Chain A
């Protein structure tokens, strides 16, 4: 399988803290790739580097072989990289319907239209409805996002990344804080994505990781410790040492 997203010797330092240390990660086309590691390992930092929120101290990032290291976040979205945030980043004063409309209009190229009303484009509305239904947001679709229950906000967080119709989807603990019962549902939605959408998932729940991923990378102290198929990772003594006390049973 061809490599879609790759980093080459990526470094990121915050003062004395090394949050990314010579990371060379390769994500294959269509992969269900999980990124695991203890708290503070640098997982979120890596996503921020991939999406352009942070500039690397050194190293390159490539999408389909093209160097995107210097591109701005919104330019990378247009090339097909979308993400969710570990801590919700939503538009508090917009409704879910408006929120999704913003992202869909932008993707369809009508986000800068100033002469017609928002909601007057059929294509945008139809796609909003599709996402609203898929993510069970119909009952709250015209409420202010700020007052939604946490679980609904979390669903909107993911729906918003979907609205970008990414080729590569980066999920930063999508199920964080979501009740056990709803977690599998969220991940099932992600797993049901078309095979040509590449997914990089950060997740602490090992059951979820092993049921989802076909490839796992382990990040410790900003550096890649190891990488491989789930069975290999589960057997790896180094990984077990890092997760001392946490059972890894695939």
Chain B
């Protein structure tokens, strides 16, 4: 390789190869699409999984790509949820997709404002500040019960049919197709963002902020940008839950929700965009399955899995996966990359 001179198209292709669609990715999304038709009886839980997957994706954007740890991502989830709820109850915007976009934009604005508090300081400060912001918002929602319904939750959320055509049915068919479509579109956008020059600079900032600033990158600027985007994603996830459940409650802001989403992301793995969705799937299915077997103790098993993952270490799991993949590949004729 070093003997032949490098040419621009080849090198450009090499740089862009990170963004190439892998076979496994295509399989993943075809399988997701297939669930709409193949398992209609499970659409309620699948809706929840899609929403939580989107929520975990928002956390992956800041943790996996910018190294910003948060224990209060539910602040944005809850805020988006109440935005969507209030838009519906006050009949301000009745078109679901438009309301969803507005809720996301409003939450992104909140993310932008709070980012300046979060960016200062160490990981510990960030954990505390994000946690604190979620607590404050929850308490505000509780206090202004005239607007939010307080501890009773926001009642009377009625969502108009999607595009004026598809009613949200009690089996969750419309809700699931809608949630999955939103997840897919926002996933595509996230995929675009992380593979862009902006995304590359985020990885530089995460890897070495000192050097990133020494090549002219505004480290704080990048963090504000991705934090704002991620807040918008979390807001859309919350809004989706309100729209599909036709209800919003204070627990959408809860610490447990922030902790759960971090758990899901850690289970699925950070920094490759699918971790949140896979983590949400594993988490929810495990919860569902364990709760039916040992209703009181399912959290024990979740805890055990988490400890195992952290102790064994993601890297070793990855090595294991790599080894298995090599085995499988060896069974197929090898195609050598240029």
Contacts and interface: CB of A to CB of B under 8 A. Distances in A.
Interface of A: 51, 53, 72-74, 77-78, 82-83, 85, 89-94, 97-99, 101-103, 105-107, 110-122, 124-126, 128-129, 132-133, 138-139, 141-142, 160, 163-164
A59 to B, nearest CB: 21
B101 interface: no
Given A105-B201, A112-B198, A118-B200, A139 B1 contact: yes
B102 to A, nearest CB: 22
B6 A72 contact: no
Contacts of A111: 197-198, 201, 216-217
A12 to B, nearest CB: 17
21 contacts: A72-B218, A74-B219, A85-B214, A91-B203, A91-B208, A94-B207, A97-B11, A98-B15, A102-B215, A105-B197, A105-B200, A107-B215, A111-B201, A117-B19, A117-B192, A117-B196, A118-B15, A120-B12, A124-B197, A125-B12, A160-B211
B119 to A, nearest CB: 14
Contacts of B13: 119
A38 B15 CA distance: 43
Contacts of A112: 197-198, 201, 225
Contact of B216 (A90, A106, A128): A106
A90 to B, nearest CB: 7
Contacts of B192: 114-115, 117
B194 to A, nearest CB: 9
B213 interface: yes
B8 A101 contact: no
B214 A82 contact: yes
B97 interface: no
Given A72-B213, A82-B214, A138-B2, A113 B198 contact: yes
B252 to A, nearest CB: 29
Contacts of B195: 117-118
Interface of B: 1-2, 5-6, 8, 11-16, 18-19, 192-193, 195-201, 203-204, 207-208, 210-219, 225
Q: What DSSP secondary structure best describes chain B's contact surface?
A: helix
A113 B200 CA distance: 10
A242 to B, nearest CB: 30
Contacts of A89: 208, 210-211, 214
A106 B213 contact: no
A94 B217 CA distance: 16
Contacts of A114: 192-193, 196-199
B203 A94 contact: yes
A10 B47 CA distance: 62
Q: What are the 7 A-B residue pairs with the smallest beta carbon separation, nearest first? A: A119-B15, A77-B216, A103-B215, A91-B207, A119-B16, A89-B211, A114-B198
A196 B238 CA distance: 56
A102 B18 CA distance: 15
A197 B235 CA distance: 49
A78 to B, nearest CB: 6
A129 B208 contact: no
Given A99-B204, A112-B197, A116-B196, A138 B6 contact: yes
A164 B216 contact: yes
Nearest to B207: A91
Given A91-B203, A114-B198, A142-B14, A133 B6 contact: yes
A174 B198 CA distance: 29
Given A74-B217, A118-B15, 16 more contacts: A53-B214, A82-B215, A92-B208, A97-B11, A97-B15, A99-B204, A103-B215, A103-B216, A105-B197, A111-B198, A113-B196, A114-B197, A118-B18, A118-B200, A125-B12, A126-B8
B204 A102 contact: yes
B215 A106 contact: yes
B133 to A, nearest CB: 25
A111 to B, nearest CB: 5
B226 to A, nearest CB: 10
A42 to B, nearest CB: 19
A139 B6 CA distance: 11
A76 to B, nearest CB: 9
